[in-house]
Structure 1
Amino acid sequence: MKLQRPRGTEDIYYENAKELTALELILRNIASQYNFHEIRTPIFEGKDLFVRSIGTETDIVSKEMFELLDKKEREFVLRPEGTVPTVRSIIENKLYGKYELPLKLFYIGSMFRYERPQHGRLRQFNQFGTEVVGVKSYLLDVEVILLGYNLLKLIGLEQVTLKLNCLTDSDSRPKYIAALKEFLSNEKLCDDCLTRIVNNPLRVLDCKIDHDKFILAPKIHEYLSPEEATYFNNIQNVLNKLAIPFELDHKLVRGLDYYTSLVFEMTTLDEEGKELTLLGGGRYDHLINEFDQQLNYPAVGFAMGLERILLTLAKNGIKLATEDELDVYVIVLSEHARYFASSLLLLLRSNGLCADTDYLNRGVKAQFKSSERLKAKNVIIIGDEELKKNVVKIKNQATGKEHEVKFEKIINVLMKGKA
């Protein structure tokens, strides 16, 4: 039997696990600064939940969902994204009636999409997302944009481009779609776009194959109602006042059907100079109402894939996690000292010190080499002679200084050095 992880997945360990954990900690901290609260939803949900909300013509639903059948032939899917499960939870648990509006939620967790694995795009991936539900305000939209923008800056990504667009939700939307269809009818499109032009023309603009053909396509923000135009202009005006640079991108529609108004992305350039999307989101004011016609709560949010962020950080030489360092490595010189080391380690760790020792019965030289590889700040040396005198030898690895310390003073000496 060949042991091999499933295609499109990865094992995360040691340095990579530390980087992922460090990124998650930063995300939690900045979300807390913006008064967002964590939500955790199940990894699998009913299939209909996503088919109904995301749209049957989206790539996620038509191609990319991991589908499951339980023993009663009920259809489930591994969650492909986090917004829809969050909305389901808000409605089912009536969060809108339990907490202050707007609900400001964030999630961190695994998502699953059955697509061809690529560098930075796996079938199982980790995603951070925010959802703000219950209020429609251009200032709130700006806050959500700033959260994502400041987050990328905070982790060290300086070359970030913010792109904005606004999808009309008014009576002029059919006029725009008609104009777009007429434009597309004169273009040679890929097979996917030929299907999309019939079922969901806006999705054609999201095509990565024919993307360059749409430069002269009708611009959706030119079809905005006066109210929509004012709202979108207000967002731009606030961003300008805050000195946040942005670009208008009339081809930006995002890949999900539930977006209704503002859509945005933040991109950077990869090593080959190609555009790489780091996060994306927008406003989805009708999604909750589609699930429950008695509820009318507008919403806005964004999501970002953590693997892509970590790869981008690595390419820029940015590390988030501190290097592994031990406070203490205990070197034993005898069998009796080895027994004592167990009690000593318990004492050290109980006082918040990171400590370890040798378990391979190696010689002193090998133990010292291990302490160096583990970057131990201090080495405690103990043998039969030290046990008789109730002392240990503590060596500071940085200075090379070594001195004897009574058992009862070990913690004081080490904590003083740590401070």
Structure 2
Amino acid sequence: MIQKPRGTEDLIEAEVKEFFALEMIIRNIVDLYNFSEIRTPIFESVDLFKRGVGQETDVVSKEMYTFFDKKNRELALRPEGTAPTVRAILENKLYINEKLPLKLFYFASMFRYERPQSGRQRQFNQFGVEVFGPKSSELDAELMCVAVNILNAIGIENHTVHLNCLVNDEQRKKYIIDLKEYLKSFDLCSDCQTRIETNPLRVLDCKVDGDKFVDVKDMKDYLSDEDKQYYDDLKKDLENLGIDYKEDKMLVRGLDYYTGFVFEIKDDKGSTLLGGGRYDKLVNELGNIDLPAAGFAFGMERMILALKNNNISLSPQSSLDAYVIGLSKKAKQFANILLLMLRNAGLKVDVDFMDRSFKSAFKQADKYNAKNIIIIGDNELKENVVVIKNQETKNEKKVKFEDIVKTIIEGK
């Protein structure tokens, strides 16, 4: 038997409903903040991610699914959503001033070749928001407000916002020199031995060695006066919005395009639920357009897992308004007409298509959590009636054909 590829999942029945319920809650919230949806191709040029995400990141150097098309162009299945969004903005000239600030969101499948584990698959679905336009601490605070509102709306209220500000430009170079000197005193894993030369900040994010660096110098001490003021303004804006936060000098995020404040929101067990920050140079890097930007994202599967861990269900138990049982061939033919009539009235109904016994058909109705069972036999057809059994009250009554819809609706 052919099985699904490792690192992929089949979402079935209740799982799909939970997924859809989460998406609808998110859509309602981002609509309140006046975000518009964007959809980008599932594959892009490899160069987009090399230039946009960073050639030395794990995402690009280890995890991308790449292939050559029939004209020998190297393409990659989309591993993240920010670089494709920037590419779409540049290609479609969405950066003109009349369109700013440009507030976008997406739901998209992503692909990364990494070790599958709970909440982390090789194909996964991601929700993300991206804001382009002014470099504004108020807009950044609103961005984090969106994230907090989503978590509160789905019932994950025990969470903590972790906040940091990455050092840039000449100050970054000074910090890197001091950081490398600091890291020399540690016996680092093989990955970090490479990162210390190619991308030293990523060493702080290492899952193997990260706990060792508790006394590392705080990069916020290296910020320029302008960046310090911006970061202080952001913290005040968060406080004004009632958003509590914890400053975390170890927080660096895993993608190279971040250039300013970064944040993650973690649950009460310390697991990361979502993350993001500013990436003011990415648009310029890809298209020579000066357009500040910020955003955040999270994996839908990881959020579904967090809901399960908190015993939260977003989708109500599925049920039918009515389940129809035909007791003869003629009655089953009429049942199909009845189904159409009930569905046209906005009622959720189904019928026994499997020629089950009367007893088995009743069991099937219970499986579907049917509120009513409609029974039709030859005698009922002659009398122009059906028998409706209310599953909650257990009462049965004969109902004329013309009153069936009314009876089911009144019993809802």
Q: CA deviation at 1:5?
A: 0.5
Q: CA deviation at 1:98?
A: 8.6
1:397 is aligned to 2:391: yes
Secondary structure of 1:45 counterpart: strand
Find the counterpart in structure 2 of residue 173 from structure 1.
172
**Among candidates 382, 400, 408, match of residue 406 of structure 1:** 400
Find the counterpart in structure 2 of residue 357 from structure 1.
351
| Gaps in structure 2 of 5+ consecutive residues | none
1:156 is aligned to 2:171: no
- Quick check: 1:170–1:225 contact (8 Å CA) kept in 2? no
- The amino acid that maps onto 2:50 is V
Q: Which moved more, 1:21-30 or 1:237-246?
A: 237-246
Q: CA deviation at 1:123?
A: 0.3
Q: In the aligned structure 1, how far is the partner of 2:293 from the partner of 2:190? A: 33
- The amino acid that maps onto 2:279 is Y
Q: CA deviation at 1:297?
A: 0.8
Q: CA deviation at 1:16?
A: 0.9
- The amino acid that maps onto 1:292 is G
Q: CA deviation at 1:146?
A: 0.8
Find the counterpart in structure 1 of residue 330 from structure 2.
336
Give deviations 1:40-86, integer Å, cap 9, x for gaps. 11111110000011111100011000011111111000000000111
Secondary structure of 2:325 counterpart: strand
Q: In the aligned structure 1, how far is the partner of 2:181 from the partner of 2:97? A: 48
Q: In the aligned structure 2, how far is the partner of 1:26 from the partner of 1:82? A: 20
Q: In the aligned structure 1, how far is the partner of 2:322 from the partner of 2:105? A: 38
Q: In the aligned structure 2, how far is the partner of 1:265 from the partner of 1:358? A: 50
Secondary structure of 2:99 counterpart: coil
Which runs of structure 2 are paired with 1:219-238 in the superposition (5 Å)?
219-238=218-237
Find the counterpart in structure 1 of residue 283 from structure 2.
288
Q: CA deviation at 1:241?
A: 2.5
- Quick check: 1:170–1:224 contact (8 Å CA) kept in 2? no
Q: CA deviation at 1:186?
A: 1.6
Find the counterpart in structure 1 of residue 306 from structure 2.
312
Q: In the aligned structure 1, how far is the partner of 2:96 from the partner of 2:23? A: 29
- Quick check: 2:78–2:111 contact (8 Å CA) kept in 1? yes
| Gaps in structure 1 of 5+ consecutive residues | none
1:207 is aligned to 2:206: yes
Q: In the aligned structure 2, how far is the partner of 1:141 from the partner of 1:74? A: 38
Find the counterpart in structure 2 of residue 13 from structure 1.
12
Secondary structure of 2:146 counterpart: helix
- Quick check: 2:159–2:267 contact (8 Å CA) kept in 1? yes
TM-score (structure 2 length as normaliser): 0.98
Q: In the aligned structure 2, how far is the partner of 1:219 from the partner of 1:101? A: 34
Sort the Cα spacing of 1:99 and 1:109 in 2 relative to 1 into closer, same or farther, 3 A: farther
Q: In the aligned structure 1, how far is the partner of 2:22 from the partner of 2:356? A: 37
Secondary structure of 1:139 counterpart: helix
Which runs of structure 2 are paired with 1:74-153 in the superposition (5 Å)?
74-97=73-96, 100-153=99-152
Q: CA deviation at 1:169?
A: 2.1
Q: In the aligned structure 1, how far is the partner of 2:165 from the partner of 2:57? A: 19
- The amino acid that maps onto 2:273 is L
Q: Which moved more, 1:404-413 or 1:130-139?
A: 404-413
Q: CA deviation at 1:99?
A: 6.0
Secondary structure of 1:387 counterpart: helix
Find the counterpart in structure 1 of residue 51 from structure 2.
52
Q: In the aligned structure 1, how far is the partner of 2:394 from the partner of 2:211? A: 63
Q: CA deviation at 1:269?
A: 4.1
Q: In the aligned structure 2, how far is the partner of 1:46 from the partner of 1:169? A: 28
- Quick check: 1:112–1:123 contact (8 Å CA) kept in 2? yes
Q: In the aligned structure 2, how far is the partner of 1:350 from the partner of 1:146? A: 41
1:374 is aligned to 2:368: yes
Q: In the aligned structure 2, how far is the partner of 1:44 from the partner of 1:252? A: 30
Q: In the aligned structure 1, how far is the partner of 2:12 from the partner of 2:211? A: 40
Q: CA deviation at 1:362?
A: 1.5
Aligned pairs, number = 412
Secondary structure of 2:108 counterpart: strand
Secondary structure of 2:244 counterpart: coil
- Quick check: 2:160–2:268 contact (8 Å CA) kept in 1? no
1:383 is aligned to 2:377: yes
Give deviations 1:350-400, integer Å, cap 9, x for gaps. 111110011111121111111111100111111111111111121211111
RMSD of Structure 2 on Structure 1 (CA): 1.2
Q: CA deviation at 1:100?
A: 2.7
Q: In the aligned structure 2, how far is the partner of 1:98 from the partner of 1:383? A: 69
- The amino acid that maps onto 2:74 is E
Q: In the aligned structure 1, how far is the partner of 2:268 from the partner of 2:62? A: 28
- The amino acid that maps onto 1:229 is K
Q: In the aligned structure 2, how far is the partner of 1:21 from the partner of 1:411? A: 29
Percent identity among equivalent residues? 55
- The amino acid that maps onto 2:160 is T
- The amino acid that maps onto 1:48 is D
- The amino acid that maps onto 1:152 is L
- Quick check: 2:275–2:298 contact (8 Å CA) kept in 1? yes
- The amino acid that maps onto 1:132 is V
Give deviations 1:14-59, integer Å, cap 9, x for gaps. 1111111111111111111111111111111110000011111100
- Quick check: 1:332–1:364 contact (8 Å CA) kept in 2? no
